[in-house]
Structure 1
């Protein structure tokens, strides 16, 4: 089992940013800063497949787990991210048990899934890993994170939680707020109530929960409530905030 998955199993609270900029030094800095993981964002970020490979390499160099968020639950995208050597995949818009099963299956080799078998890829160290070791251990090493973002996923949650083989149920508060007719109001009581109910159901079956937070104070709040996989802002968002703070401070000084 990977150290990342082992830490989740042990109940640790992990903290990491979304990476939207296609610049490997950013994930190196994130690792040096002490984050627990990075989410390389292929859904909303500017990072192509070639860039994703370099970002994964930079994560490895910095000693920080790489999670690739694919832009949809397409098995080919999931397979590609894992072949490139990602430590895990994050799949958005899981709205049904069937969607969850497809995503998990795509991330697992047989007999647990349908991931394409090729050890001559970066994940298999280009064939230098013995095939028995690679195919035998990859399923246990790879983290699978499923995102529930809309009311379809909320309604299907009892069935989604029955699916075996995923490690984190991640809630996207912005999309959740939009599905409730209050887009962007992530602190609205309706959003908080749904999040708390999702956490209750996940806790009953022993599934770790993830949540996105814009700021550190909110991240600490949800950590203390029991969220284990806390995603924090984004590289570009943090860069803007620090630049804005500096520019405003200079203007007012």
Structure 2
């Protein structure tokens, strides 16, 4: 089972971060720091599959779970990120139930979806021990351990969240607070009643479906508040801005 899923089922809230540098060294350092997971951001960052693969290798060395935020919902994008060994996908920009169903079709093996099988890196190029029990057992294990977490960051997604989270193949929900606040006409006003209600609704729906609710946090105070609000996982900022802030704080102290 995916370790993030194990921790959720044990009742522990998890902490992760984004990778925007596309560096395997950055990925390794995040693991050394003890983070539960990272999300390689291929949506907003200027890199793609090769850099994501190097980050995944670093994750395996340092015992941190590697997720990838994909740039688009196409069969090629979904399949390739899974084939290189991503333990889960974060999927942005979704609006409709049909879009989520298409994602599941691309990324989950049958009978849940129609993911194509190949002896790629995700199964040690066909030599993984899990294949010893037969292909059917491997496909079931892969479906169980590869997490699909669509982002709730549009008004339309929020309106259909009960139906989306109930789909077999959806393993959790990730709230993108900035884009959701813009979509609701309250850009950056995270304390506005409309946003508070939206966040609380996501948590409530996820808990009813027994699936984890993730959310991005931009400050320690924000992260603590979201954990108190009931979110199961906090994705705290990114390697890029953590680096900038650390050096800025250093210069402030020295000057």
Asked if Structure 1 and Structure 2 have the same fold, meaning a TM-score greater than 0.5 normalized by the shorter chain, the answer is yes
1:121 and 2:125 are equivalent in the alignment: no
Q: Closer, same or farther in 2 for the Cα pair 1:151/1:136, shift >3 Å?
A: closer
Q: Closer, same or farther in 2 for the Cα pair 1:167/1:9, shift >3 Å?
A: farther
CA contact (8 A) 2:149 2:173 kept: yes
CA contact (8 A) 2:172 2:206 kept: no
Q: Which residue of 1 aligns with 2:73?
A: 73
Q: Which residue of 1 aligns with 2:22?
A: 22
Work out the CA distance in 1 between the residues paired with 2:223 and 2:47.
25
1:88 and 2:65 are equivalent in the alignment: no
The alignment of Structure 1 onto Structure 2 pairs a total of residues equal to 250
Q: For residues 2-41 of structure 1, what are the structure 2 equivalents within 5 Å?
A: 2-41=2-41
1:195 and 2:199 are equivalent in the alignment: yes
Q: What SS does the corresponding residue of 2:8 show, helix, strand or coil? A: helix
> Could you report, residue by residue, the CA deviation over 1:18-58 in whole angstroms, capped at 9, with x for unpaired residues?
00002111111111111100001110123321111111101
Unpaired runs of 5+ in structure 1?
none
TM-score by length of 1: 0.93
TM-score by length of 2: 0.93
**Bigger CA drift: 102-111 or 34-43?**
102-111
Runs of 4+ that moved beyond 4 A = none
Q: Closer, same or farther in 2 for the Cα pair 1:10/1:167, shift >3 Å?
A: farther
1:236 and 2:235 are equivalent in the alignment: no
Unpaired runs of 5+ in structure 2?
none
> Could you report, residue by residue, the CA deviation over 1:120-175 in whole angstroms, capped at 9, with x for unpaired residues?
21001012123525334211111111111011111111221221122211110000
Which of residues 198, 203, 209 is equivalent to 1:205?
A: 209
Q: Closer, same or farther in 2 for the Cα pair 1:30/1:124, shift >3 Å?
A: same
Work out the CA distance in 2 between the residues paired with 1:22 and 1:201.
33
Give how far 1:4 is off. Answer: 2.1
Which of residues 115, 139, 142 is equivalent to 1:138?
A: 142
Q: What SS does the corresponding residue of 1:109 show, helix, strand or coil? A: coil
CA contact (8 A) 1:144 1:165 kept: yes
Which of residues 164, 171, 174 is equivalent to 1:167?
A: 171
